[in-house]
């Protein structure tokens, strides 16, 4: 068994308290490989931002939990080498069972999410409470979820969203003891977050998604004052990356994300953790497609992964500064 403290990691307790008091959100970026992790750490060091490194089931299947854990250990040392000892959390994204959460806790994760949102309410409470009891005995923080997000990302699939019911949140938090709560107010997983018929089009034909349900967020904040709230599915799906992917042979029909100004508003309210995954995939793919198109004889992975890493870094820096407000908070 490996304690997260041995890896130089922190849990989310102090991170979230400072974020709530400061009116910003902690970036929660998913990673699957070295280049993604380097970009995240470089961006957060350069902007002096705390960060949550997220690992999904797809990442564990792709890269192996032991490799990911040791990459996170290396990230702590890498940040120091770059000149800033930023707070880093290693977090399980969308844990689907007690066994999965236990495995990650035992392997040095400092935070886990148990997603029982697809179960009946009482089953969600019981499962979440079981994870909390095991995690808290080891000083690991736990994120639970109420409400369901539509969309597809890795193995998380749901056709329809179910908004979080504000009248349930106090009971859920009280019975489970979770440290943070992921809610559903209109965000969605993946790069195609909304169907065209759910959106309007501006004068340029760009799809405009329906606004987030800030009324639900504000009601939850009234019922749980000062409690950490989390938004999943919060990629903005930048037009420049989608355009570049399509320019160089890709196909992303009707891609639409969450407007960044709405995420910034949420970060100034009760939301203190914002999950961003698809934007990283889009930025990396756009850069790689451009390099391969312009240099068709290139076969050295460093020559296309290097520019992709730089693109990712710049995107993450922009998120920290302009969207989450976490820059300078490390």
- Reported as a single tens digit per residue, the pLDDT across 225-247 is 999 999 998 999 998 999 999 99
| Per-residue pLDDT at 18 | 98
d(CA 183, CA 315): 25
User: Mean pLDDT over residues 168-179, rounded?
Assistant: 98
Of residues 175, 72, 166, the one with CA closest to residue 131: 175
User: Mean pLDDT over residues 2-28, rounded?
Assistant: 97
Provide the β-strand partners of residue 141.
111
| Per-residue pLDDT at 103 | 96
| Per-residue pLDDT at 159 | 53
Provide, rounded to the nearest whole percent, the portion of the chain with pLDDT above 70: 93
User: Reduced to 3 states, what is the DSSP secondary structure of residue 250?
Assistant: coil
Provide the β-strand partners of residue 182.
145, 230
d(CA 267, CA 271): 5
pLDDT of residue 149 exceeding 90: no
How many CB atoms neighbour CB 294 within 10 A? 9
Of residues 223, 236, 317, 235, the one with CA closest to residue 270: 223
- Is 179 an active-site residue? no
pLDDT of residue 193 exceeding 90: no
Of residues 238, 257, 254, 117, the one with CA closest to residue 186: 257
Instruction: Give residue 90's pLDDT band: very low, low, confident or very high (50, 70, 90).
Output: very high
pLDDT, the chain, mean: 92
pLDDT of residue 160 exceeding 70: no
Phi then psi dihedrals of residue 159, to 5 deg: -80, -35
Q: Name every residue whose Cβ is closer than 8 Å to that of residue 224 and which is 6 or more positions away in sequence.
A: 169, 170, 173, 181, 270
| Per-residue pLDDT at 256 | 81
pLDDT of residue 253 exceeding 90: no
Query: Domain 4-321 is in which class?
Result: alpha beta
| Per-residue pLDDT at 272 | 97
> Which of 21, 93, 254, 300 does the annotation list as catalytic?
93
| Per-residue pLDDT at 211 | 85
pLDDT of residue 196 exceeding 70: no
| Per-residue pLDDT at 152 | 53
For 324, which DSSP code?
I
d(CA 305, CA 176): 43
Tokens of 258: 């969450």
Q: Where in the chain are the domains?
A: 4-321
What b/e string do you get for 253-279 counting C-beta neighbours within 10 Å, with b at 16 or more? eebbbbebebbbebbebbbbbbbbbbb
| Per-residue pLDDT at 153 | 56
User: How large is the angle between the packed helices 278-294 and 34-46, nearest 10 degrees?
Assistant: 110
| Per-residue pLDDT at 204 | 72
Tokens of 46: 């350069």
Instruction: Give residue 192's pLDDT band: very low, low, confident or very high (50, 70, 90).
Output: low
């Amino acid at each position: 068994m490996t304690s997260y403290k041995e890896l130089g990691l922190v849990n989310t307790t102090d991170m979230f308290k400072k974020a709530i008091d400061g009116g910003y959100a902690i970036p929660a970026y998913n990673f699957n490989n070295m280049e993604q992790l380097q970009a995240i750490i470089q961006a957060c060091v350069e902007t002096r931002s705390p960060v949550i490194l997220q690992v999904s089931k797809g990442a564990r299947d792709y890269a192996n939990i032991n490799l990911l854990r040791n990459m996170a250990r290396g990230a702590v040392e890498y940040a120091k080498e770059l000149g800033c000892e930023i707070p880093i959390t290693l977090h399980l994204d969308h844990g689907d069972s007690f066994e999965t959460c236990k495995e990650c806790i035992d392997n040095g994760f400092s935070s886990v999410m148990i997603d029982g949102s697809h179960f009946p309410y009482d089953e969600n409470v019981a499962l979440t409470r079981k994870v909390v009891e095991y995690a808290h005995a080891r000083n690991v923080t736990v994120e639970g979820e109420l409400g369901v997000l539509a969309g597809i990302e890795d193995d998380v699939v749901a056709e329809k969203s179910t908004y979080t019911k504000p009248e349930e949140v106090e009971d859920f938090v009280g019975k489970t003891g979770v440290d943070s709560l992921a809610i559903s107010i209109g965000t969605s997983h993946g790069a195609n977050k909304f169907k065209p018929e759910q959106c309007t089009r501006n004068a340029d034909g760009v799809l405009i998604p329906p606004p987030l349900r800030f009324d639900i967020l504000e009601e939850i904040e009234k019922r749980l004052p000062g409690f950490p709230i989390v938004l999943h599915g919060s990629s903005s799906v930048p037009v420049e990356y989608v355009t570049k992917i399509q320019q160089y042979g890709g196909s992303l029909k009707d891609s639409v994300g969450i407007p960044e100004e709405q995420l910034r508003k949420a970060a100034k309210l009760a939301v203190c953790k914002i999950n961003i995954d698809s934007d990283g995939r889009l930025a990396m793919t756009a850069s790689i497609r451009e390099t391969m198109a312009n240099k068709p004889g290139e076969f050295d992975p460093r020559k296309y992964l290097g520019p992709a890493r730089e693109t990712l870094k710049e995107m993450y820096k922009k998120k920290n500064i302009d969207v989450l407000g976490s820059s300078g908070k490390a």
